Amino acid sequence: MTYRLLFVCLGNICRSPAAENIMNHLIAQAELTSEISCDSAGTSSYHIGALPDRRMRAAAAEQSIQLVGHARQFTPADFEAFDLILAMDRDNYRHILALDRTRAYHSKVKMMCDYATNHADQEVPDPYYGGTDGFNYVIDLLLDACAGLLADLDH
């Protein structure tokens, strides 16, 4: 049975597709592609169908990671479809939980930064309105958090 991860941010063009693709990169390196699968979504409908942001793609490419996929919106059906749902910030977390009216899936929703081991951040900052440094920082933070997540899943 494949363990399914869903990464969620606001628009699904910066943070969550970066997390999805970084995690897929680490899963492939660990030869676990048959055991763990990843997807990403946004809490908003702003960018449905869009590619990951070009600035985030450039920052990921500097780490030899290609960002692929198209933005989609998180739906209540995702609660059933995924084993673990990872929110990038508290707003995303609250939005996801608000869709779980029966509270049946609250235990599946976690904060991405809970898995970071080298960064003290509690949220993955949204780099959308900032410069190159912000995108590079988010990639570094997500590399850390995804590595911690993979180690946690491997135990």
* Catalytically active residues, by annotation: 9, 15, 126
- How far apart (Å, rounded) are the C-alpha atoms in residues 30 and 75? 30
Cβ atoms within 10 A of the Cβ of 70, count?
14
> Residue 2 region, left (φ>0) first, then alpha (ψ -120 to 50), else beta?
beta
- How far apart (Å, rounded) are the C-alpha atoms in residues 3 and 13? 23
- How far apart (Å, rounded) are the C-alpha atoms in residues 33 and 75? 25
Pure H helices in 14-155: 15-29, 54-61, 77-81, 90-98, 132-153
DSSP H or E stretch at residue 42: strand 36-42
CA distances from 21 to 63, 95, 98, 102 (A): 12, 23, 26, 31
